[in-house]
């Protein structure tokens, strides 16, 4: 069963930190989170689950993909992935949590399910979209720099 919530692009400025302060917009995990079109892939992920209303609700797409990205980028085990997420507010933001919580967001055994549900085809499409977004942003930056240079 999958209970799809309306996807919202979370802003790092709204992420709750119990000890005060704000997340740094230039942090690599924040930049990565802003590149991924989370909502665009939510539906294809949700289609894999029964709509019968029985069983435990599945974890959201952002949590699943975010956890897999963290594991791969850091080259760590499933258990260490969950520990890192528990300790790091930037990682919690990446997986879609609304604020920092000093607790494990899921059992490490869920990583096996995430790997089964996020297919290589989905990953390829996600990589393409991230790459396209990055190229688009780089193009906008270059055009802005050229425009500013002409004005000088």
State yes or no: pLDDT of 18 exceeds 70: no
Strands (DSSP E) contained in 7-143 are: none
Q: Which of 12, 118, 101, 11 is closest to 59 using CA atoms?
A: 118
The listed range with the strongest mean pLDDT (2-11, 19-28, 33-42) is 33-42
| pLDDT of amino acid 95 | 97
pLDDT in tens, 90-104: 999 999 998 889 899
In this prediction, residues 140-149 reach a mean pLDDT of 75
Q: Are 63 and 96 in contact (CB under 8 A)?
A: yes
- pTM, two decimals, is 0.77
Phi, psi of 134 (to 5 degrees): -65, -40
Q: In this predicted model, what pLDDT tens digit does every residue of 96-126 receive, in sequence order? A: 998 889 899 999 999 999 999 998 888 899 8
**Rounded CA gap, 102 and 116, in Å?**
27
Find out whether 41 and 122 touch, Cβ atoms under 8 Å. yes
3-class DSSP state of 102: coil
Helix, strand and coil in the chain, % to nearest 5: 60, 0, 40
* Spatial separation of the C-alpha atoms in residues 104 and 85, rounded to whole Å: 7
């Amino acid at each position: 069963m999958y209970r799809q919530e309306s996807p919202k692009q979370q802003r790092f400025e709204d992420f709750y930190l119990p000890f005060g302060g704000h997340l740094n917009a230039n942090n690599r995990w924040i930049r990565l989170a802003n590149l991924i079109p989370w909502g665009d892939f939510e539906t294809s992920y949700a289609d894999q689950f029964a709509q019968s209303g029985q069983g435990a609700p599945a974890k959201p797409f952002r949590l699943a993909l975010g956890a897999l990205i963290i594991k791969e980028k850091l080259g760590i085990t499933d258990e260490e992935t969950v520990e890192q997420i528990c300790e790091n507010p930037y990682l919690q933001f990446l997986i879609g949590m609304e604020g920092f919580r000093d607790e494990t967001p899921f059992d490490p055994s869920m990583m096996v399910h995430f790997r089964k549900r996020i297919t290589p085809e989905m990953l390829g499409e996600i990589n393409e979209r991230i790459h396209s977004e990055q190229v688009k942003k780089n193009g906008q930056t270059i055009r802005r720099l050229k425009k500013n240079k002409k004005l000088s």
